[in-house]
Structure 1
Amino acid sequence: MNQKAVDTYLHDTSGCKVQSIPGSHVRWSGRASYYTHKSLVEGLLGEGVAPLTERIENLFRSELEDAVPISSEWTYEWDLTDFLQEHLSSAILQALYGPLLIRQDDEFISKLWKYDNGIMSLMRRLPSWMVPKMYRYRDDLVDSIMRWHHQAVQLSESDIRGTHGPQPDGFDVYWGTTMMRDRYKTLLAMDGQDPRSVASTDLAFIWATVTNVVPSAMTLCTQVFQDNSLAEKIRTESQQCLQPGTELRFDMDRLTTTAPLLLSMYAETLRFGVQIHIPRCSPYQPLAVGNGSVPAGKMAIINTAIAHTDEDVWNTAGGKHPLDTFWPQRFLINPFDNESGPLKQGTTSPLSSPTQNKIREMSQQSSSSEGVFSTEGLDGSWIPFGGGQHACPGRLLAKRIMLSATAMMSTMLEVELLDPETPVKFESPRFGFGVRKPVMEVPFRVRRRIQH
Structure 2
Amino acid sequence: MNRAELRICLYNTKSLDIYNIMSLLESMAIRKRTALEFSWIPALMCLSLHKETRTVPVLVAIILFQLIINYSLNSFRWHLENNSRDNQGNGGQLPPQYPSFFPYVSNALSFVCNNANFIQRATLTSSRISFLGFDIYAFQDRQTVAKIWKQSTLSSPISMFIYVLKYFFGLPDSVVSVYRADDSGPFPKPYSGSNVLATDRIDHITHHGFLRALGGPGLLPTSRRYMNALAARMHNKNISSEWVEMADFSNLFQEMVGASLIECVYGPSMLRLNPKFMEDLWGFDLKRWYTYAREHFDDSHISSDGDGDPYWGSNLMRYRQEKLLAVKNHDDDALARMDLGLAWGAVGNTIPCAMLSAFHLFSDPDLLRRVRNDINLSFGDQQLQGIDPNKLTKRPLLSSIYAETLRFYVKTYFVVSSPHTDVHLGRWTLPKSRIGLMNAGVSHMDSDFWNSRDGKHPVTTFWADRFIIDQRDPQSGPIASEVRESPEWMGRRRDNEEKARMNSDPFFSMEGTEGSWFPYGGGHSICPGRFLAKNVILFTCALLAKEYDVEMLTDKIEMSTWRFGLGVGGLKHPLPFRIRKRNA
Alignment of 1:399-414 (within 5 A): 399-414=534-549
Spell out, residue by residue over 1:169-226, the C-alpha distance to the aligned partner (whole angstroms, 9 max, x if none): 3001110002211211211110011110011111111110111101000010000011
Contact 2:412 2:565 in 1 (8 A): yes
Matches within 5 A, 1:158-177: 159=298, 162-165=299-302, 167-177=304-314
Cα deviation code 1:345-369 (max 9, x no counterpart): 121368833522431441x2x3xxx
Shift of 1:270: 0.8
Distance 2:508 2:525 in 1: 26
8 A Cα contact 1:242 1:249, kept in partner: no
Once the two structures are TM-superposed, the CA of residue 150 in structure 1 deviates from its matched residue by: 1.4
Residue 106 of structure 1, aligned match among 264, 275, 300: 275
* Cα separation, partners in 2 of 1:415 and 1:173, compared to 1, 3 Å: same
Q: Which residue of 1 aligns with 2:174?
A: 4
Report the AA paired with residue 583 of structure 2: I
Q: Give the Cα separation in 1 of the matches to 2:430 and 2:174.
A: 30
* Deviation sequence 1:70-95 (CA, Å, 0-9, x none): x3311111111100111111111111
Q: Do the aligned partners of 1:5 and 1:194 also contact (CA within 8 Å) in 2? A: no
1:89 aligns with 2:258: yes
For 2:452, what is the secondary structure of its paired residue?
A: coil
Unmatched tracts of structure 1, length 5 or more: 113-137
Q: 1:243 to 1:192 in 2, by over 3 A?
A: farther
**Where do residues 44-63 of structure 1 align in structure 2 (5 Å cutoff)?**
44-63=214-233
Q: What's the counterpart of residue 322 of structure 1?
A: 458
Is 1:13 aligned to residue 146 of structure 2? Answer: no
Deviations, residues 246-268 of structure 1 (Å, cap 9, x unaligned): 465333232111x2221111110
Normalized per residue, which structure has more helix?
Answer: 2
Identity %: 33
Match of 1:127 in 2: none
- State the alpha-carbon separation in 1 of the partners of residues 576 and 322 from structure 2: 44
Larger-Rg structure: 2
Distance 1:24 1:243 in 2: 55
**Counterpart contact for 2:218–2:315, Cα < 8 Å:** no
1:13-412 matches, within 5 Å, as: 13-69=183-239, 71-112=240-281, 138=282, 140-141=283-284, 143=285, 145-156=286-297, 159=298, 162-165=299-302, 167-242=304-379, 245-246=382-383, 249-257=386-394, 259-348=395-484, 352-362=493-503, 364=504, 366=505, 371-412=506-547
Q: CA offset at residue 243 of structure 1?
A: 7.3
Helix, strand or coil at the partner of 2:481: coil
- CA shift in 2, pair 1:243/1:153, >3 Å: farther
1:12-53 per-residue CA deviation (whole Å, 9 max, x = no partner) reads: 111111221111111122211010001111111112211111
Q: CA deviation at 1:237?
A: 1.6
AA partner of residue 410 (structure 1): A
**Comparing 292-301 and 167-176, the one that deviates more:** 167-176
Instruction: Report the CA distance shift for 1:8/1:243 in structure 2 as closer, same or farther (over 3 A).
Output: farther
Between the aligned partners of 1:295 and 1:382, the Cα distance in structure 2 is: 25
Task: Give the Cα–Cα distance (whole angstroms) in 1 for the partners of residues 434 and 186 of structure 2.
Answer: 18
> Is the contact made by 1:266 and 1:402 (CA closer than 8 Å) also made in structure 2?
yes
Q: Decide whether the 8 Å contact of 2:411 with 2:564 is kept in 1.
A: yes
CA distance in 2, matches of 1:263, 1:338: 20
Contact 1:386 1:392 in 2 (8 A): yes
Q: Distance in 2 between matches of 1:247 and 1:274?
A: 28
Number of aligned positions between the proteins? 409
**Distance in 2 (alpha carbons) for counterparts of 1:240 and 1:55:** 25
Return the offset for 1:167: 4.3
Letter of the 2:534 partner, please give it. Answer: K
Q: Which amino acid aligns with 2:519?
A: P
Aligned-pair RMSD on alpha carbons? Answer: 1.8
SS at match of 1:266: helix
Name the SS for the 2:279 alignment partner: helix
Deviation at 1:428, TM superposition (A): 3.5
CA deviations on 1:345-394 (whole Å, 9 max, x unpaired) are: 121368833522431441x2x3xxxx322111212111111111111001
**Cα gap change, 1:247/1:91 in structure 2, threshold over 3 Å: closer, same or farther?**
closer
Q: Which TM-score applies when normalising by structure 1?
A: 0.86
Q: Which residue of 1 aligns with 2:563?
A: 430
**How far is the alpha carbon of 1:301 from its aligned partner?**
1.1
In structure 1, distance between residues paired with 2:295 and 2:463:
51
d(CA) in 2 for partners of 1:216, 1:427: 15
Amino acid at match of 1:64: M
Tell me how far 1:55 sits from its aligned partner: 1.0
| Residue identity matched to 1:313 | F
SS in 2 for 1:393: coil
SS in 2 for 1:426: coil
Write out per-residue CA displacement over residues 387-421 of structure 1, whole angstroms, 9 at most, x where no aligned residue.
Answer: 111110011111110000000011111111123xx
1:432 alignment partner, SS class:
coil
